[in-house]
Amino acid sequence: MSVDLDQTPRSLLVCDRSSFLNEKNRISSQVEQLHFNYKVSLLLPECSSAPSHLDAVFNSFNSFYLIRNMPIYELLDKHFLKTAVYQGSVYGVSYRTRIDEDNCVALMPNGHLSLSLDKDSFELLGVEGKPSRFNHRTTCRYVVCVDLTDSSMAPGGRGYQRLLTGLRSRLQLKTDFLLSHHPGGGASLQDLLSRYDWSEHRPDVSSHTLTDLSCPALQSCDLQSCDPHSLLEWIGAVDAHISCENSSSSFLSSLVCPEPKTTVSRALSVSVCGLLLPQDVHRLIQQIRYYLEQPRLESWVSLTVHGFVDSPVSWRGNEHGVLRGGENFYSLLIFHDQTYQLHLATGAHDTCPP
């Protein structure tokens, strides 16, 4: 057996408990710090169809754009910088690139451009960078991160020209690119889009009604009422439509519902997939709180947000790495009394979540 397979991969899981009524709760800042989300999963026990106000949120997530074979130097275009980057909240990430093998790019809402490059590409680019934190025996990957809003990167300046020349003349890096801009929407991106083959996409929404579902008997007042790892495994299994009703003799799956548990007659599982902005996730959380305030409900809702596995950055714009899993996600349990449990998780090649 390979050495890599005979040991459990290291992972990080941070657990927190607080209340939305506590002015010092950090939910908003934590949601904003995971920039590139590709999937939001929602589980609503004792619900068979989404209430109209939740359904409206699902269908009002911001659209995003796929630009095919875009040269990365276009992100330094003066008009694009002025109308989009300097205005804030631009989200862009290379599409179908693998962080452990390919050159990957991310443009963050604070104007930082991050390039994760193999050694040959880094040397061709010819700008300052640093070795990846996730190199093993030899240095084979480098990270270049520049602040496009800094005065040293103003168009015409030395730093700007050096990076532009490297991307346009030496490296000539091109990739399919996902792009979204929250304040200006597509209008601020039209000049860039007009020069390339592009398509606009709406996030894909799907739902599934479950019956007689075994659920953990969760209590809002006790973070330890259920083992966090077992709870997250169960949430993932439900989202993937994997049965947790397994006998001890089953060889197909060892996943079971954590104890103590109860059975709900029905539950609704909803997924939204695409390039999903933190602002939309925050609006969804607010509507879930409103949903749970209904007097007939004595329940909870689970919200899980997954970051892109191959994004070059994860929490707070820190470097993201993949060896086995590439996890960077958080799961939020919201209770009817406005308390919550938050689980933030990363895989073996990330720093600790905030």
pLDDT for 275 equals: 97
Amino acid identity for residue 78 in this structure: K
Distance CA 312, CA 36 (A): 10
pLDDT for 240 equals: 85
Distance CA 339, CA 94 (A): 37
What would the 3-class secondary structure string for 244-288 be?
A: CCCCCCCCCCCCCCCCCEEEEEEEEEEEEEEEECHHHHHHHHHHH
Distance CA 78, CA 181 (A): 16
φ and ψ of 41, to 5 deg = -115, 135
Q: Is the peptide bond before 260 cis (omega within 30 degrees of 0)?
A: yes
Whole-angstrom CA distances from 338 to 52, 109, 218, 220, 335 are 21, 30, 14, 9, 5
Q: Are 304 and 281 in contact (CB under 8 A)?
A: no
Residue 20 CA, chain-centre distance (Å), reads 22
Neighbour-count burial of 296, counting CB atoms closer than 10 A to its CB (0-12 exposed, 13-18 middle, 19+ buried): exposed
Task: Provide the b/e sequence for 248-268 (b: ≥16 CB within 10 Å).
Answer: eeeeeeebbbbeeeeebeebb
pLDDT for 5 equals: 47
pLDDT for 218 equals: 79
Amino acid identity for residue 77 in this structure: D
Distance CA 22, CA 119 (A): 48
Structure tokens belonging to residue 92: 């862009």
- Residues of the chain short of pLDDT 70, as ranges, are 1-10, 136-137, 184-185, 219-225, 246-254, 296-298, 322-325, 348-349
Q: How many CA atoms lie within 13 A of 345 on its CB side?
A: 21
